[in-house]
Structure 1
Amino acid sequence: MNILGQKIPLRRILGMIAGVVIIGIGIAVFKFSHLGNDSISALNMRISELVGLSFSIENVLMNLFLFIPQLIWGRRYIGLGTIINSLCIGFVVTFTSDILVGVFGSANTLPLQLLWVVIGVLVVALGASLYQTADLGVAPYDALSLMLADRLPVPYFGCRIFTDALCAVIAWLLGGLIGLGTLLCAFALGPFVQFFTKHFSEKILQYQPGKGVQ
């Protein structure tokens, strides 16, 4: 498929879209657990509550706001995946959240909440693996840590911890839910993303970022 003059295999586009959908489902699972989301989702959810907007709409507005620095300093991180993620993921989260509540009611015991958190980590990691392996651009929030790493003598991991911690602190100061799910996102997602990338995503998409078709 040709996009902006660049021929991109359909499997990578479908993998990117599937990744966005799966990430959205995982975020909804975290929300359903009531033990905290990843830091940027926790911040978005709290802001949406404070301003009276749906999470879907607030998420789009936040992405548009964060797209400004990405457009100025991180154009090389912009792609089809940036657009799909920015516009669609909030609606996937809302749709999935409604289904979870309708089917399961609520996770009101700690063992159930812990089970949903574990499921959330695995689902988000799988989605992130597909999305990143497709290599079709990153979401504006994800671009922040990449741009910082490009310009500071700090490795990407440190920049990512900084942006995640900053969002978590702001969400907490605003009265948002920061909990076990937030900590697991910060420290457990990386290894699982790496696992899914090696054993699933690269094989399914037949592609490795920076190396091309295998």
Structure 2
Amino acid sequence: MWFKFFLPATTSGRKDTIDRWVQLIVGLALYGLALALMVRAHIGVAPWDVLSFGLIENFHLSYGMATVAVSIVVLLLWIPLRQRFGIGTLMNGLTVGLWADLALLVVPVTDELWLRCIYFGAGLVILAFATVLYIDADFGPGPRDGLMTGLVRITKQPVWLVRTVLEGSVLLLGWALIGWGFGTTVGVGTLLFAFGVGPLIQLFLPPVTRWRARRSARLDDPR
């Protein structure tokens, strides 16, 4: 039935479904905040965002609009992986950029290097945690994370390794595009993101999965 598109892949009941919706929305909002923090850090954006800033420079889009455009392109890469498409996938692709634009309105610009480093470090940790939150809500992964989980399923390699290789590959592509005039935002933060986000996701995944399982069982326990 069509309404199943708006349900998580697994749920223990109505209360659990509502709770998972809250988890999904919080995860997406935190993801947007994390992106905004790393943009404000100005020490190098995430590999995928190198492409976003290329679009910004060439087509005068907002950061959020450029992020949505990149998400649509990434979704096309799902086709050969036969990934499950869910409402969470759409919400990620269409709303994370909007959350990031909102966060950019409230996260202040700073020239202090120490504060920019804190921005980036906090953004990286929050992004990894947010990624695990919305994936574990089980409404379907976001465009980039669906690509990651699809490759994990096919290659049978650990999440941290697949994510690191994926981000590193996108980084190399971003550098190539910079050579063609598509962006100037690669820095030390880009390298930290490319090789740090995978291990952080792997770190958060087990405890969040255990927490979700315990919470789901408790929410709809009839006793």
TM tier, shorter chain? Answer: 0.7 to 0.9
Aligned to 1:169: 172
Q: For 2:77, what is the secondary structure of its paired residue?
A: helix
Gap change, CA 1:117 and 1:71, over 3 Å in 2: same
**TM-score relative to the length of structure 2:** 0.77
Aligned to 1:55: 63
> For 2:23 and 2:58, how far apart are their aligned partners in 1?
35
Please list, as runs of the form range in 1=range in 2, the aligned pairs for 1:116-195 lying within 5 A after superposition: 116-152=119-155, 156-173=159-176, 174=178, 175-195=183-203
Q: Deviations over 1:171-198 (max 9, x none)?
A: 2332331223222323333444344444
Runs of 4+ in 1 over 6 A off after TM superposition: none
Aligned to 1:69: 77
> For 2:164 and 2:202, how far apart are their aligned partners in 1?
17
Aligned to 1:89: 96
Gap change, CA 1:138 and 1:207, over 3 Å in 2: farther
Instruction: Extract unaligned runs of 5+ from structure 2.
Output: 12-16, 219-223
Letter in 1 for 2:130: G
> For 1:154 and 1:193, how far apart are their aligned partners in 2?
14
CA contact (8 A) 2:44 2:187 kept: yes
Q: Which has the higher mean CA deviation after the structures are superposed, 40-49 or 150-159?
A: 150-159
CA apart distance, 1:25: 0.3
CA contact (8 A) 1:67 1:140 kept: yes
Letter in 1 for 2:77: P
Q: For 2:111, what is the secondary structure of its paired residue?
A: coil
Instruction: Extract unaligned runs of 5+ from structure 1.
Output: none
**TM-score relative to the length of structure 1:** 0.80
**Number of aligned residues:** 204
Aligned to 1:3: 4
CA RMSD of aligned residues (A): 2.8
Give percent identity, aligned residues only. 23
> For 2:18 and 2:156, how far apart are their aligned partners in 1?
37
